[in-house]
Structure 1
């Protein structure tokens, strides 16, 4: 059955808007070429979208020809403003962007563990309001939030967890109260990081992969055949609870100590570095772990480069730093860390066969190719399933980027649907 005229118009409008979002400003002629629609149809949709306040003339085509130059149309970026939040146990980061995803303002604030629930919530909400004001956003259309912990798949709410600060759950409800017109969406932080890596990062060429998040805690996100998999209870990827050898106890339903978390969390990484006499800077484990891993990887990288300069025929294999004594502790530390990570990665590979694992988070980024190569080498010895191990290209910023991408997609989905567009701006704005 052919589509009705109204349905056909809606499809054409959405196609044109998606092209403008992906390709940037275009002329009517370029829209005709890219969509395959007739000239009159393109002229009609341009008129409709202009009248709806979704697109506007942003310039003229540069080519010289008889008559006036062709008008160039672009999405009205300030038609809606979006906010992205990355909530951590130690603080919150906020970015506010326009409808096409251009970041207009961003900031973060630390929230100490001794801060009361009420003051912590107020600090976080005030930060969102301040960044929105700095971005010139009178209102926020959609707010995307990345948070650690389980997200209830039916309600979309952050589930209670004894391992997370109480202010996390209170914050979401308070933010919705203070921003009643905003669409507030919460997603697991690792899932958002995986979406960002798939769209803009290390997994852009992969439809199936697993992101192993290595930060304050551990987590995993699973993307199969291009789709993020959340599981029946929203808990796919809670790898911190995975029972593994090398720990002194088993995890429980309320505590992941004794699971993979005990081997790969920031605190565990700092302890491992001390065991191998790799110096660490003072401070909290969450900030010290990336620093010590980055320093160790840098020492090993430098030793490998020097060995090659000194005439190593094919270059040393990862970890071959014996001729450079200062690099030996760093190399052995990375070897031991890779041993630990491989235990968790091998379990995931045996069940899912993703073909690609991205080491994400601040620690994954800090380890770089030196850590990824070691993990891949161990996986190759532990399983017959070929698996490439990659390093994140977005690091800890992947959560905020994923939250922004999700907020933009949801806002555009609504605004680009006829009949569900924002009211026209008042005159003079």
Structure 2
């Protein structure tokens, strides 16, 4: 059976779908402007996408003076939904949105400690199902972001200590088997950086350190997340911090910093107790000095190897990073000809990482729908149906 190749008309329709998914609600005039296609071509594509179940009329654009008001084009909730999960060592957040990014539901819960991978997978899937209960249309994509290195969207390497059980591919297999949609794993650092890029489109080259249960790292070039060929890529935590034999992960993670504090005479149970310790406490001063050196070392490494415009810090250690940043900048000015902009980003525990995962979901879904549209010609004529056609 010979295949039928997509026509220019198919590609025009795919371009219209791309713009509608990423910019809706929008008027036809705006759609013509963004696609660069003729009015007739856009009108034909819109009607076909309406028949496919991906476009509906939204509100009406109020126009002052003469002229006909423009009807907004929108994406219906029945076109489907996506799920972003921030699966942390302490907190897990789930965010469900439609294909336009409108929130359908979210939940944030303490992460249940599991000693069995299948049980953990079932727990995650139940959480996804509960949060998606009111969603309409098919589930298009799930992205789970966790404090670890991830290869090929499935294999977990060097997760945070409380999550060592999830090393390998078993958790991904379990979740994908239970969910009727594509499932992709990623690092919490990548999800956080994606959220930063979404919030500020002017950022092109950046690096991000997630300083929480483990040190995780992400970087982008021209707004594209960098992904290495091996799990060694981005494993900055294994490098020396510049303090004795401590690695960067030994000082820029919650568990590592608590251990370091106890060894230096500061009896704390949680890393947050560092904020409460007296400013003039001798042991606290030593810890802060070591932490400052580690932050300086980490920024120096990425500054000379990746040349980012901006370096971001997120995670539970963010308040301590805020405290030492003035000294970090002062030290870097003495060693580097130009230092990047260094800043911290506040996050909503559990949900900010899930939000970044949703942005990844939407991009993947957009690409998959475009591919499906272009392949639809070889599938033969479609039957009339209320659900989206692809």
Same-fold call, TM > 0.5? yes
Point out where structure 1 has 5 or more consecutive residues left out of the alignment: 249-257, 283-287, 297-325
- What secondary structure, in the 3-state scheme, does the structure 2 residue paired with 1:141 have? strand
Conserved? CA contact 2:94–2:107, under 8 Å: yes
Q: What's the CA shift for 1:12?
A: 3.1
How far apart in 1 are the matches of 2:7 and 2:281? 66
Q: What's the CA shift for 1:426?
A: 5.2
How far apart in 1 are the matches of 2:73 and 2:52? 14
| 1:209-260 deviation line (CA, Å, top 9, x unaligned) | 2111101110211212333222221432111111333244xxxxxxxxx421
Q: What's the CA shift for 1:336?
A: 4.3
Partner of 1:262: 250
Residue number among 374, 377, 386 corresponding to 1:425 in the alignment: 386
Q: 1:235 to 1:7 in 2, by over 3 A?
A: farther
Q: 1:77 to 1:377 in 2, by over 3 A?
A: farther
Which moves more between the two structures, 233-242 or 63-72? 63-72
- What secondary structure, in the 3-state scheme, does the structure 1 residue paired with 2:142 have? strand
Q: 1:377 to 1:46 in 2, by over 3 A?
A: same
Q: 1:172 to 1:28 in 2, by over 3 A?
A: same
Q: What's the CA shift for 1:68?
A: 6.3
Partner of 1:120: 120
Partner of 1:406: 360
| 1:185-204 deviation line (CA, Å, top 9, x unaligned) | 11222122222222225xx4
How far apart in 2 are the matches of 1:33 and 1:352? 36
How far apart in 1 are the matches of 2:46 and 2:185? 35
Conserved? CA contact 2:209–2:216, under 8 Å: yes
Q: What's the CA shift for 1:107?
A: 1.7
How far apart in 1 are the matches of 2:76 and 2:56? 6
TM-score if structure 1 supplies the norm length?
0.75
Partner of 2:57: 57
Which moves more between the two structures, 158-167 or 24-33? 158-167
TM-score if structure 2 supplies the norm length?
0.81
Conserved? CA contact 2:250–2:257, under 8 Å: no
Partner of 2:220: 223
Point out where structure 2 has 5 or more consecutive residues left out of the alignment: 377-381
How far apart in 2 are the matches of 1:177 and 1:119? 13
Q: 1:222 to 1:34 in 2, by over 3 A?
A: closer
How far apart in 2 are the matches of 1:79 and 1:385? 48
Partner of 1:254: none
Conserved? CA contact 2:118–2:171, under 8 Å: no
| 1:35-67 deviation line (CA, Å, top 9, x unaligned) | 443322222122122111111111223226779
Residue number among 339, 342, 350 corresponding to 1:386 in the alignment: 339
How far apart in 1 are the matches of 2:171 and 2:299? 33
Partner of 1:207: 204
Q: Does the alignment pair 1:347 with 2:301?
A: yes
Q: 1:11 to 1:335 in 2, by over 3 A?
A: farther
- What secondary structure, in the 3-state scheme, does the structure 1 residue paired with 2:317 have? helix
- Report 1:92-107 matches (<5 A): 92-107=92-107
Conserved? CA contact 2:207–2:219, under 8 Å: yes
Partner of 1:252: none
Conserved? CA contact 2:137–2:387, under 8 Å: no
Structure 1 vs Structure 2 CA RMSD: 3.4
- What secondary structure, in the 3-state scheme, does the structure 1 residue paired with 2:243 have? coil
Partner of 1:338: 292
| 1:99-119 deviation line (CA, Å, top 9, x unaligned) | 011221122333454644443
The 4+ residue runs of structure 1 with deviation greater than 6 A are 64-68, 274-279
